Structure 1
Amino acid sequence: MTHTLTLTAMTPVTHDTWHLTFDHPADFKFRPGQATHWALDKDGWRDKDRAFTMTSKPDADVVEFVIKSYPDHDGVTEQIPHMTPGDKIIAQDPAGAITDHGPGVFLAAGAGITPFIAILDKHDREGVTGDRLIFANKTDRDIILKDKWDTMNGVSPTYVISDQADTDHVHGKIDRALLQDLLNDLNQTFYICGPGGFVDAMRDALTELSVPKSQMVIEDGW
């Protein structure tokens, strides 16, 4: 089933990331962490869909997304900065394996943070504590919603920066050694989202640390 959503507002989040707000059709239902494939409702674009994660509450009056734009990609994300209120999208029924499994360690890289926005917001509303966010980015200015994570109750964030030597955060990449150094307890849920290579590396590192697959929350197809 498809749904038509209309853009009502758009604001920048970082230098290349946008917060988009749409109206919420009554039959567009989802759980925190899930995504939908959507395409721009305009000639030449209706068959060019991409998966994007809803970042708003499922029962909110609006549907929100936080989307990273890639100007060098000839696709939907390249068009994001050019969208204006009134533009429409065609969205598929939401789905996805990343949903709320309780408190845990959230391993994200870049735009891979988006499924965790709604889940961590839900934990915040419910007073859940003990969440750990380990967030990899190329530079400091790439960190999506840093102020949010720094002030959210119940979340302990660590930022890992790979391409900026003068960062005040951890410089390098998330790997087995860093996970061993940062985490005292591996008997918990691990949420993983990011580019395919990042997901594979995190899965392999956790497996080497004897974390069973049953403790990993990863998108379908991993």
Structure 2
Amino acid sequence: MKFNDHYTIEILEFEQITHDVKRFKTTKPKGYRYTPGQATEVSINKVGWRDKFRPFTFTSLNGSDTLEFIIKAYPTNKYPKHTGVTEEIHKLEIGDELIIKNPVGTIEYKGKGVFIAGGAGITPFIAIFRYLENKGRLDGNSLVLSNKKKRDVIIGDELQQKFNNENLLLTFTREKVEGYKHRRIDKDMLNTLVNDFNQYFYVCGPSGFENNITDALRALGAYEEKIVVEEW
């Protein structure tokens, strides 16, 4: 149902995929289109929540008959700056409704490069990776992903299936795990990992993470026009 560029969608199924992340599959409005990497603003179709919109990325591809969102919960007792929307979404059941707006977002695939994500910042890249794999164009891209702990990695098995060991690096900042890095992504790490700064760099994560990574890339010689960052 559409009303003033707002669309009502129904939850068809959901799945807990990490300790604090759920995957939601919903109905898709007729004629609704988006590109890989785009997002929309989402609210809950319940009294007291309808005007509380928050951005979430589509992780499904446009050709699908349904929409998919992968959403991390931020409980207000742990994240007081959050308003409880994600926490409330995690309480929803099959048949409950969400409200979405038109697609938005600045993350768009422009060419082969390095994807750098922090935590839930991986979500805009998921649809891009799926799209590129379907088109046979994923080769030549690489992913550097930082999480606090191994249990925080979103769709880790799928990422390891898509990328070989040379093109995927997982690092954990609060846990030592054999076979993985134990450090933050910083200028020194990027200087060691990347041998060509004349390629695209796609960056998404918390604002502090994005600022630190983009500053490091500029200092290492990456071209401003080839640094693609999600902006809201």
TM-score (norm 2): 0.91
The residue matched to 1:136 in structure 2 has which SS? strand
- What is aligned with 1:37? 41
- What is aligned with 1:48? 52
Structure 2 distance, partners of 1:205, 1:126, is 32
- What is aligned with 2:208? 197
Amino acid at match of 2:91: H
The answer for unaligned runs of 5 or more in structure 1 is none
Q: From the superposition, tell whether residues 167 and 76 of structure 1 become closer, same or farther in structure 2 (CA, over 3 Å).
A: farther
Alignment of 1:1-222 (within 5 A): 1-71=5-75, 72-73=78-79, 74-128=83-137, 129-152=139-162, 156-220=167-231
Structure 2 distance, partners of 1:160, 1:105, is 15
TM-score (norm 1): 0.95
The residue matched to 2:90 in structure 1 has which SS? helix
Aligned pairs, how many?
221
Amino acid at match of 2:129: L
The answer for unaligned runs of 5 or more in structure 2 is none
Structure 2 distance, partners of 1:220, 1:163, is 27
Structure 1 distance, partners of 2:196, 2:222, is 10
Deviations 1:117-160 (A, max 9, x none): 00011111111111110001000110111111111157821011
Structure 2 distance, partners of 1:166, 1:30, is 38
Structure 2 distance, partners of 1:102, 1:219, is 16
Amino acid at match of 1:113: I
Which aligned runs of 4 or more in structure 1 are off by greater than 4 angstroms?
Answer: none
Amino acid at match of 1:143: V
Q: From the superposition, tell whether residues 134 and 160 of structure 1 become closer, same or farther in structure 2 (CA, over 3 Å).
A: same
Q: From the superposition, tell whether residues 153 and 126 of structure 1 become closer, same or farther in structure 2 (CA, over 3 Å).
A: farther
The residue matched to 1:33 in structure 2 has which SS? coil
Cα deviation for residue 205 of structure 1 reads: 0.3
Structure 2 distance, partners of 1:45, 1:34, is 23
Does the 8 A contact of 2:113 with 2:142 survive in 1? yes
Structure 2 distance, partners of 1:45, 1:113, is 26
Amino acid at match of 1:55: T
Q: What is the percentage of aligned positions where both structures have the same residue?
A: 38
Structure 2 distance, partners of 1:218, 1:154, is 24
Q: From the superposition, tell whether residues 171 and 154 of structure 1 become closer, same or farther in structure 2 (CA, over 3 Å).
A: closer
RMSD: 1.4
Structure 2 distance, partners of 1:40, 1:13, is 21
Does the 8 A contact of 2:107 with 2:229 survive in 1? yes
The residue matched to 1:164 in structure 2 has which SS? coil
